[in-house]
C-alpha cells in the first residue's frame, strides 16, 4: 500500500529512506468503510485526502437534494476548499466504496514542508497541475451539452460509469437522474442504426 504512495511521489521528487521514514511515521493510512461520511456541511476541518484505493465523492445538500460535484478515485488528491479558507465546509464528503486513503492534516503538511523543501516543491507542482487540469475540466463542462459531457465522461473515465450510482452521475453532469436516463436511451437509439 505504501508503495502506491511512494510511486506517486516519485513522479515529482525522489525520496531518501530518511524522508520515506518521516512520512511513514506520520501514520497516514486509513481504511474506510463504504458509506462513511468524512466531512459534513458546517464542520471545520484541516484534513486532506489521497485515494490509494476506492472512491470518495463530494456533495452539497440543496433543497433536501444531494448535488454531487466530484468523484475522487485511485491517485486522486483532495484538499477541501474549507481547509484552505479555514471556514466551515459547504459540502459533504463520503465514501462510495470500501477505500484506502491517506489522511493528512495541514499541520502535518506544514511541518513536512518546512523540514523538507522538496515537499514544498512537490506540493506546488501538484497544485499547479491540479489547477490546470481542473481549468480544462471546467472549460469542457461550460462548452458542452449534457449529452456531450456524458459521452466525454464515457471516454475519459469509463470506470466511473460502472462504479457510481446513476443519480450521482447525473448531478455530476449537471442534470436530473431522469434526464440522464432519457439521454442514455437517446444515445442508445442513435447507435442502433
Burial 64-94, CB ≥16 within 10 A → b, else e: eebbbeebbbeeebbbbebbeeeeebebbbb
Measured distance CA(184)–CA(193) in Å, rounded: 15
Binding segment toward DNA, per CB under 7 A, in 21-29, 77-85, 113-121, 159-167: 159-167
Nearer to its own copies, 27 or 137 (CB): 137
Of positions 8, 126, 177, 187, contacts DNA by CB under 7 A? 177
If you ran DSSP here, which 8-state letter would residue 34 be given?
A: T
Of positions 1, 145, 159, 163, contacts DNA by CB under 7 A? 145
If you ran DSSP here, which 8-state letter would residue 96 be given?
A: S
Helices (H), the chain: 2-10, 17-24, 81-85, 106-115, 117-142, 146-156, 158-163, 166-172, 177-192
User: What's the first-to-final CA gap in the chain, in angstroms?
Assistant: 47
Of positions 147, 156, 191, 193, contacts DNA by CB under 7 A? 147
Of positions 20, 53, 118, 167, contacts DNA by CB under 7 A? 167
In the complex, minimum distance from the CB of residue 140 to its own copies, in angstroms, rounded to a whole number = 9
Of positions 6, 16, 174, 178, contacts its own copies by CB under 8 A? 174
Q: Is 100:55 a contact under the CB 8 Å cutoff? A: no
Is residue 135 involved in binding its own copies (CB under 8 A)?
Answer: yes
Helices (H), 11-103: 17-24, 81-85
Is residue 157 involved in binding its own copies (CB under 8 A)?
Answer: no
Binding segment toward its own copies, per CB under 8 A, in 3-11, 49-57, 77-85, 150-158: 77-85
Binding segment toward DNA, per CB under 7 A, in 77-85, 113-121, 124-132, 168-176: 168-176
State the residues that interact with its own copies by CB under 8 A: 58, 60, 62, 67, 69-70, 79-81, 83-85, 90-91, 113, 117, 120-121, 123-124, 127-139, 141-143, 171-172, 174
Amino acid at each position: 500500500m505504501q508503495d502506491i504512495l511512494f510511486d506517486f511521489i516519485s513522479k515529482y521528487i525522489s525520496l531518501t529512506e530518511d524522508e520515506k521514514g518521516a512520512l511513514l511515521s506520520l501514520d497516514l493510512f486509513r481504511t474506510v468503510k463504504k458509506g462513511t461520511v468524512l466531512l459534513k456541511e458546517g464542520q471545520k476541518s484541516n484534513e486532506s485526502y489521497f485515494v490509494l484505493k476506492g472512491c470518495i465523492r463530494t456533495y452539497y445538500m440543496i433543497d433536501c437534494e444531494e448535488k454531487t460535484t466530484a468523484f475522487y478515485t485511485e491517485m486522486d488528491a483532495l484538499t477541501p476548499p474549507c481547509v484552505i479558507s479555514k471556514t466551515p465546509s459547504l459540502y459533504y464528503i463520503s465514501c462510495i466504496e470500501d477505500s484506502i486513503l491517506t489522511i493528512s492534516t495541514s499541520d502535518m503538511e506544514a511541518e513536512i514542508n518546512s523540514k523538507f523543501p522538496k515537499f514544498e516543491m512537490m506540493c506546488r507542482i501538484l497544485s499547479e497541475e491540479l489547477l490546470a487540469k481542473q481549468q480544462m475540466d471546467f472549460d469542457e463542462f461550460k462548452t458542452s451539452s449534457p449529452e456531450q459531457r456524458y459521452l466525454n465522461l464515457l471516454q475519459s473515465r469509463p470506470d466511473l460509469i460502472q462504479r457510481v450510482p446513476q443519480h450521482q452521475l447525473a448531478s455530476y453532469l449537471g442534470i436530473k437522474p431522469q434526464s440522464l436516463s432519457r439521454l442514455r436511451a437517446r444515445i442508445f437509439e442513435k447507435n442502433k442504426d
